[in-house]
Amino acid sequence: MTVLRKKERSICISQREWAVMTKRLYEVAGKVFGRALYEGGQVKGKELVKKYGVKKDDLKQLQEVIKKEGLARNVEIHDREILVEGSFEGEALKPYTRPVCFYLAGIIATIYSKIEKEDVKVEETDCISTGKKVCRFVVRPLEWYEKMNEVMEII
């Protein structure tokens, strides 16, 4: 199905079609594809910040945006840990061998950064695609990753 949105042509694909496409791309491109999805999620996150008028100091906005956009059925936020039930990506790729919600992680990172006024990176540590009950995302300051890279270079 093709939809015209603000003079921009868009397509809608089913969860099954998403699964077929992404599984093949993971096979061919591996981690590079996951990185591309994360960055695509960051771009979408910026659009959602504008669309919903996301402001600082209210993480409930993150829950609302994810649910309204149909990216997940439920979201719980516990400081820097975000639990997601019914992730579109995770459900589509069941069963899979590793976490797969890179697009959603990118969206979360961008919206979280806007709300908390802090540059962050989001990593999915558990995923429903691997049989877990929820997808678990950990939010860390960007500096944490930079320090970890420095440590790895020393080792």
Question: CA 53, CA 42: separation in Å to the nearest integer?
Answer: 16
| Domain membership of residue 148 as a residue range | 13-154
What confidence tens digit (pLDDT) does each residue in 20-65 have?
Answer: 999 999 899 988 999 999 999 999 999 999 999 998 888 899 999 9
C-alpha neighbours within 13 Å on the C-beta side of residue 77: 14
- Is 8 contained in some domain? no
Residue 2 has pLDDT above 60, yes or no: no
What confidence tens digit (pLDDT) does each residue in 67-81 have?
Answer: 999 999 999 999 899
Report the CATH number at residue 113.
3.30.1380.20
- Output the average pLDDT for the chain: 89
Q: What is the residue whose two structure tokens read 């994360």?
A: 38
- What count of residues does the chain have? 155
User: Sign of the CA dihedral 111, 116, 121, 124?
Assistant: negative
